[in-house]
Amino acid sequence: RARGALFDLDGVIVDTAKYHYLAWKRLANELRFDFTEADNERLKGVSRMRSLDILLELGKFDIGEALRERMSILKDNWYVEYISHMTQDEILPGAREYIQSLREQGVRIALGSASRNAPLILDKLHITDLFDAVIDGNSVTNAKPDPEVFLRGAKSLGLQPGECVVYEDAEAGVEAAHRAGMKAVGIGTSQTLPEADYIISGLHELVGKSVLQER
């Protein structure tokens, strides 16, 4: 039986990808090239600087470290402006109910996100209190698929990795979970997440079900 549940943020609890997309597109347009929603798929679950590198590669830009740093700050400022208008209504269906039900069953809950803006997003959604621990891009050195974020999550909850289950929408996150020695519930399809141990289309599917069924 799982004693800990580790949740990714973007794509699992909230769809922040649309705001990342708007901000990255704005940066691309400033640099005079287009950035499509299909391109944006490649950035899901990927760290901020790695995302910038992918974007610059698409625009065929080869620029130095100092300018890359400035561009990432520019993008982040726009992104933070977009998400500062977010409301509780943007929590994905079932996410709050499901996490709440796990808590009531005594399961410990942690966030395991690549985003440095995770605390702000949790605050905007009024769900900070649902988490016993928050591990995000501010405290993690090695991005997914490195298992660091989930190993730290388990540790913060006082649990062994094998006692935790991960909820992820990105392939890199599923890989990170496996490398941490955890089972991964994939939010997506068997096409997008072929390695996941269990596939659901969203957390709403699990509301009212026992955690036993996920392992």
Residue pair 83/124 in contact by the 8 Å Cβ criterion: yes
Q: Dmax over Cα atoms in the chain, in whole Å?
A: 52
Q: Is 8 in the site for ligand G16 (CB under 6 A)?
A: yes
Total residue length of the chain: 215
Residue pair 108/1 in contact by the 8 Å Cβ criterion: no
Given the rule CB under 6 A, which of 31-39, 41-49, 55-63, 184-192 is the region that contacts ligand G16? 41-49
- Residue nearer to ligand G16 on the CB measure, 7 or 157: 7
Q: For residue 59, say whether it is annotated as part of any ligand binding site.
A: no
Which of the 8 DSSP states describes residue 14? B
Tell me how many residues contact ligand G16 (CB under 6 A): 20
Residue pair 70/10 in contact by the 8 Å Cβ criterion: no
- Residue nearer to ligand G16 on the CB measure, 115 or 156: 115
3-state SS class at 185: strand
Among 28, 47, 78, 108, binds ligand G16 (CB under 6 A): 47
Residue 120's Cα: distance from chain center in Å? 14
User: Distance between CA atoms of 165 and 160, rounded to whole angstroms?
Assistant: 11
Is 76 an active-site residue? no
Q: For residue 47, say whether it is annotated as part of any ligand binding site.
A: yes
Is 8 an active-site residue? yes
Q: State the number of CA atoms in the 13 A half-sphere of 51 facing the CB.
A: 27
Restricting to residues 172-211, name those near ligand G16 by CB under 6 A.
Answer: none
Nearest CA-CA partner of 111 in 140, 81, 90, 131: 131
User: Distance between CA atoms of 98 and 161, rounded to whole angstroms?
Assistant: 21
Residue 20, binding choice from ligand G16, Mg ion, none, Cβ under 5 to 8 Å by partner class = ligand G16
- Residue nearer to Mg ion on the CB measure, 52 or 170: 170
Residue 40, binding choice from Mg ion, ligand G16, none, Cβ under 5 to 8 Å by partner class = none
Q: Is 6 in the site for ligand G16 (CB under 6 A)?
A: no
Among 45, 147, 161, 186, binds ligand G16 (CB under 6 A): 45
Secondary element (H or E) of residue 100: helix 95-104
Q: Residues in the site for ligand G16, rule: CB under 6 A? A: 8-11, 20, 43-48, 51, 76, 113-117, 137, 170
Summarize the annotated binding site for substrate as residue ranges: 8-10, 24, 43-48, 51, 75, 113-117, 144
Name the binding residues. Answer: 8-10, 24, 43-48, 51, 75, 113-117, 144, 168-169
Catalytic residues: 8, 10
